[in-house]
Amino acid sequence: QVQLVESGGGLVQAGGSLRLSCAASGLTFYNYGWFRQTPGQEREFVAAKRHSSLYYAESVKGRFTISRDNAQNTVYLQMNNLKPEDTAVYYCAARGRNGYYSDYGQPRNYDYWGQGTQVSVSS
């Protein structure tokens, strides 16, 4: 059974930083992503690793960084220079299927999801 457990959310002032963690059991991270969602909105792509490449949404490029600790089987989202518009519930996602996929920004291309962690940025 695959389980993704997120941690690291919280309340921070604009300009501050947070690091989100997502630990996996039952699966080894290879292709994975981070998404976020606000009430009434669709889940939005934030960042992803697809094979050997990293991808970021334009809104977070230069501020957010994804990484992986193989020994801990944990992926991270380092968020710097946070803005109030970054306020959302953040989700990690992992792809369990084999095979090629091009759209790393589509939630349907991921098979497993964390429970979400709230990030709130005050102005």
What is the DSSP annotation of 41-59? S--EEEEEEETTEEEE-TT
Looking at residue 121, its pLDDT comes to: 98
* Residue range 23-74, pLDDT digits in tens: 999 999 999 999 999 999 999 999 999 988 999 999 999 999 999 999 999 9
pLDDT exceeds cutoff 80 at 93: yes
Return d(Cα 9, Cα 11) in angstroms, integer. Answer: 7
Looking at residue 109, its pLDDT comes to: 94
Looking at residue 99, its pLDDT comes to: 76
Average pLDDT of the residues in 92-104: 88
The DSSP secondary-structure symbol of 107 reads G
Average pLDDT of the residues in 70-86: 97
